[in-house]
Amino acid sequence: MESVFDLKSAKALLEWHAELGISEAISERPINRFETKVEANLGPKTSELKDNPINTIADNPTDQAVMVTANAKNLSELKAAIENFPHCDLKYGARNAVFSAGSPSAKIMIIGEAPGREEDFQGEPFVGRAGQLLDKMLSSIGLSREARDAEKSVYITNVMPWRPPENREPTQDEIDMMVPFLKRHIELVNPNVLVAMGNISCQSLIGRRGITKIRGIWAEAFGLPVLPMLHPAYLLRNPVAKREAWFDLLSLREKVFT
């Protein structure tokens, strides 16, 4: 079917939306309301899922995630596996799959929750206001995402590679199907320790929430020590809690470098 839009009118419509202040997608998936069948734009159709061999072997998204991640031999294959994974609805409302930043040879792997608006735009984790604070926190103990030397670098990723609409919390189903990717990500980077930033990350790694209580208490996930820490977005809203974050940074430095 021919498109109802030429480039000029599509641009005009976009500008009109921007003028009205429409800057975000507010539903889970983009819907093309000009199409007679709304279902045409709702991600993969059941028939497409059936045609894809991975979908016929394992019968739920989490099992399929386990299967595809087992085949990822390196980080670029894992990134491609995430980008091609059709079952997480968040994918259909996001601009970019946000994979990682920093050095894969780092001893410290930081795991955040999910990309926000800026991260979705730029395709890189922790680049918005919370990310800028994270960079300052890391620099206070001599670490940086730009460093390549294992003693000074960090590797950063998120539990969810796609931005949830309006920054809502990911659902348990969404977390369950993406944790196998996170597990493989950790195996491939092979850090000495993990830092779980915030509740979603703690829930995904150690099965616990209540970050203000569990922060600073070393736990274990996938055979590695995990340090639960207050999320920098929380610290922006509650600057007095920076004191606790400072203790946790010192504990991190001591664990990894002494």
Distance CA 102, CA 108 (A): 10
Neighbours of 87 (CB within 10 A): 19
Of the pair 116, 191, the CB lying nearest ligand URA is at 116
DSSP string, 179-199: HHHHHHHHHHH--SEEEEESH
E-strand spans in 113-251? 154-158, 193-197, 219-221, 224-229
Distance CA 42, CA 89 (A): 9
Near ligand URA by CB under 6 A: residue from 119, 135, 174, 248 = 119
Binding of ligand URA by 113 (CB under 6 A): yes
Distance CA 50, CA 45 (A): 9
Least distance (Å) between residue 158 CB and ligand URA: 5
Near ligand URA by CB under 6 A: residue from 102, 115, 164, 191 = 115
Angle, vertex CA 210, rays to CA 207 and CA 215, nearest 5: 90
Near ligand URA by CB under 6 A: residue from 126, 155, 181, 234 = 126
Binding of ligand URA by 116 (CB under 6 A): yes
Segment near ligand URA (CB under 6 A), from 9-17, 54-62, 113-121, 216-224?
113-121
Least distance (Å) between residue 113 CB and ligand URA: 4
Binding of ligand URA by 130 (CB under 6 A): yes
User: Which x/- pattern over 188-207 shows residues binding ligand URA (rule: CB under 6 A)?
Assistant: ---------x----------
